[in-house]
Structure 1
Amino acid sequence: MTDPALSHARRRLLQGSAALAASPLAAAFALAATPKAVGQRTLGASGYGQLFPVKDETTGLPLLMLPEGFSYRSFAWAGERLAGTGEPMPGAADGMGIVKVDGEVFTLVRNHEIFGQDGSFGPAASHYDAPCGGGTVTLRYDRRAGKLLEARGSLSGTLVNCAGGTTPWNSWLSCEETVSPAGHGGFRRGRTFRLERAHGFVFEVPAEGVSDARPITDMGQFIHEAAVVDASDGTVYLTEDNRPAGFYRFLPRQRGQLGAGGRLQALRVKTHPDLRTGLKPGQRFDVDWVDIERPDQGWEAAADGSNAGGTLGVLRQGRAQGASLFTRLEGVFVRPDEIFFTSTDGGDAKAGQVFRFVPSQQRLELFYESPGARVLDYPDNICLSPTGSIVICEDSGAPVQRLYGLTRQGELFELARNNTELAGEMGFIGSFKGAEWAGACFSPDGKTLFANVYRPGYTVAITGPFA
């Protein structure tokens, strides 16, 4: 998600630049625009080469910078009309995944990280808490024709739907990145509001139709970021975007039936109760898991009964049994026998970490750590290419946001750059180059990379000579 403390992030970027200027890494940055420092190693990752402004084949605008030979089409812009209801499509386009493929037609579910209580959208059957404006939109995109076939609301009445993940049974898990009790009230945008239901849960959205808007309470009430299902055994791995945070797994009672309940657990490294700093890339840890006895009790009421309670109820339950601390865990992605996830401000430079977990060995590895904001700052959503390389969405306070590639050899390279400037086109005015990337996901054949530009909110389908 977008960190509200942007001014803080920009200060960190400047501080990181100053630190690097006095370090041996400075020479590497003077030689090339593509970052080449990874962890404590210097690598020669050039990726696909230099980036150039490329015109969008839909609008004709140079919205992105890409390597030579790559092209893209934008679709599903905020403000366009939703099928069925005619409502405007919401903005704040965040996490996204492909839930169905029918030849050249891809069905994607896209999160909308709406903070305000401005009212639900889409069919009423898919509303959880009617005053709330977060949720998901389901998109059907025809790659051969290069156009959007349909956009429809599929879940709403939720809050701050940040990321999530796909399931092997053709659905999307949409995660609320907030924790609030039922009856919580306040004042926002000149309006008073009152939540009718508790928030901080995961919801399932099918590829066809709409969500039943039932929270999966056994998956925990906490500041969720992402969730992904390991197809080998049905385990769901979940990240928490909080300071501090935990890394969790959910063991369902019935495989493929998440709503039937199950057991939530938090990761523990007995030798390292705090994994936020002081680690080295390549360092490995044996792990075990501790049970969360009351997963639906994430809100801690204030002693005076006010709304100023805490959001760490689930983490505190884990910590009481020795669960390890992370900071601001973000994207998570699965491939056979390995789970990758990011910590957006972890590491000694507070610029980001990428962890790798191997279920068969119950082993955690620090796969990558950014040495400073000039290299990579605030890694957020991630996905894996069919060849195993990692695509990282940047969400920092820098004036321009980038998509990065990270090879299995630990080489980091720039894949795309946000170049969005609008002068009334698509109904928006201003520079959006600083808007985060989100929702990256590859088509199964590896030929198309879908991704979102968070603000004003649109999706791109990038094609080219992906290796």
Structure 2
Amino acid sequence: MERRNFLRGAVLTGSAAAFGGSLWRGAAHAAPAQPGPGPYGSLRPADSNGIQLPQGFTSRVVARSGRRVSGTSYTWHNAPDGGACYADGGGWIYVSNSEINPGGGASAIRFDSSGTITDAYRVLSGTRQNCAGGATPWNTWLSCEEVDRGYVFETDPWGAKSAVRRDAMGRFKHEATAADPVRRVIYLTEDVSDGCLYRFRPTTWGDLSSGTLEVMTGGSGTSGSIGWATVPDPSAASTATRHQVSAAKHFNGGEGCHYANGICWFTTKGDGRVWQLDAAGNTVELAYDDSLISGSTPLTGVDNVTSASSGDLFVAEDGGNMEICVITPEGVVAPFLRISGQSSSEITGPAFSPDGGRLYFSSQRGTSGSSSGGITYEVRGPFRS
């Protein structure tokens, strides 16, 4: 029996191009995304890497946990998780977290303009269970500890500067972050069943060393006006941050978080929902709910997310059928790729190269089902622009 039969909860998120238009803007009045034919066609039989892809797409393995990255002397980390790409001259860098505890941290792979690997190295060490995070407008990577009273670490994708622990961003079970350059805040999700959505307001934009941590407040419903209240003790020395403000709005298992066009999109895997926060209007509403889809869905166990320049959203499954699914601006949900023979793993860290022509992601536990079996992939092909 397929794992999706046990894991029902399709969740979406947004991108600057993807949902700035009619589909999700005012989502309470729009039909939720539904299964249908995807823009890339059906999946072909698995290739030599065990990946099913649409016609015209190819895959390659760029790193394996416990092995040297090709062309370098660097050994790739275990349990690869959240990631992001950064432009590097004519090439790019892919940063990936390591979700192990203790140890954790993050590593990077550098590619030249042709996609050849030229270097690999550590950018963060000695942390705990680094799950997701997010890129900043000033080209750093925020690596988040998914443990009780975990920290956020700001890292340099080039590895030239030492990582810095950002205590002011709070101590809780961090998941993902998203930067809002208009309001100059960083949104943060919390991966517990009664977690909250937070925003961090730096004293100086671009400097995360000090600032104010706030928690969303509001009613128990799925839409309406919200507010923000200062978290009295971001260090959570005696009381968890999510329990310090009585009016805090709670969410079931915060996961992905993405800012685009004035909207902060965030997902809650515990109840299979995606929410949209209108940052200017200070309102929140339910944009997607798995229970509103009749029949089966091709997207379950939603986790990390990224978007393409076309406006298509690519959502990785933690569970399900080990797929990355595409959500089109027209509201169609369909598998884009499927990894076979790795049912005890999860797909993590999807991120596009700066030119949008390559998609990077990992199978966290690979074929072994162990954190030492992680595999990081690249997929190339005719992505829509």
Q: Identify the residue that residue 287 of structure 2 maps to in structure 1.
A: 367
* Cα RMSD for the two superposed structures: 2.7
Q: Identify the residue that residue 212 of structure 2 maps to in structure 1.
A: 263
Q: Identify the residue that residue 289 of structure 1 maps to in structure 2.
A: 228
User: Partner letter of residue 293 of structure 1?
Assistant: P
* Identity across matched positions, percent: 32
Q: In structure 2, do the counterparts of structure 1 residues 414 and 250 end up closer, same or farther at CA, with 3 Å as the change threshold? A: same
Q: Identify the residue that residue 436 of structure 1 maps to in structure 2.
A: 346
Where do residues 277-426 of structure 1 align in structure 2 (5 Å cutoff)? 279=222, 284-297=223-236, 300=239, 313-318=240-245, 320=246, 322-346=247-271, 352-371=272-291, 374-375=296-297, 376-396=299-319, 398=320, 400-419=321-340
User: Partner letter of residue 384 of structure 1?
Assistant: S
Q: Distance in 2 between matches of 1:379 and 1:299?
A: 32
Q: Identify the residue that residue 70 of structure 1 maps to in structure 2.
A: 57
Higher helix share: 1
Q: Distance in 1 between matches of 2:242 and 2:288?
A: 25
Structure 1 position 15, deviation (Å): 8.6
Q: In structure 2, do the counterparts of structure 1 residues 257 and 454 end up closer, same or farther at CA, with 3 Å as the change threshold? A: same
Tell me the secondary structure at the aligned position of residue 84 of structure 2: strand
User: Partner letter of residue 464 of structure 1?
Assistant: G
Asked if the contact 1:134/1:161 (under 8 Å) is kept, the reply is yes
TM-score (norm 2): 0.84
Structure whose alpha-carbon radius of gyration is higher: 1
Q: In structure 2, do the counterparts of structure 1 residues 63 and 41 end up closer, same or farther at CA, with 3 Å as the change threshold? A: closer
Q: Identify the residue that residue 23 of structure 1 maps to in structure 2.
A: none
Structure 2: 5+ residue runs without aligned partners? 10-29, 366-372
Q: Identify the residue that residue 123 of structure 1 maps to in structure 2.
A: none
Query: Per-residue displacement from partner, 1:121-148 (whole Å, max 9, x unpaired)?
Result: xxxxxxxxxxxx110001112352x432
Structure 1: 5+ residue runs without aligned partners? 1-8, 18-37, 56-60, 118-132, 181-199, 301-312, 347-351, 420-430
Where do residues 26-425 of structure 1 align in structure 2 (5 Å cutoff)? 44-55=36-47, 61-81=48-68, 88-103=75-90, 105-115=91-101, 117=102, 133-142=103-112, 144=114, 146-179=115-148, 200-210=150-160, 212-259=162-209, 261-269=210-218, 272-273=219-220, 279=222, 284-297=223-236, 300=239, 313-318=240-245, 320=246, 322-346=247-271, 352-371=272-291, 374-375=296-297, 376-396=299-319, 398=320, 400-419=321-340
Q: Distance in 2 between matches of 1:42 and 1:202?
A: 35
Q: Identify the residue that residue 377 of structure 2 maps to in structure 1.
A: 460
Q: Distance in 2 between matches of 1:45 and 1:326?
A: 32
Q: How many residues align?
A: 352
Q: In structure 2, do the counterparts of structure 1 residues 16 and 176 end up closer, same or farther at CA, with 3 Å as the change threshold? A: closer
Greater relative contact order structure (CA < 8 Å, 6+ sep):
2
Asked if the contact 2:156/2:162 (under 8 Å) is kept, the reply is no
Q: In structure 2, do the counterparts of structure 1 residues 209 and 49 end up closer, same or farther at CA, with 3 Å as the change threshold? A: same
Tell me the secondary structure at the aligned position of residue 315 of structure 1: helix
Q: Distance in 2 between matches of 1:173 and 1:227?
A: 7
Asked if the contact 1:220/1:298 (under 8 Å) is kept, the reply is no
Query: Per-residue displacement from partner, 1:35-94 (whole Å, max 9, x unpaired)?
Result: xxx976756443311111353xxxxx23211111111222021122379x9563222110
Q: Distance in 2 between matches of 1:242 and 1:443?
A: 31
Q: Distance in 1 between matches of 2:157 and 2:266?
A: 25
Structure 1 position 16, deviation (Å): 6.0
User: Partner letter of residue 269 of structure 2?
Assistant: T
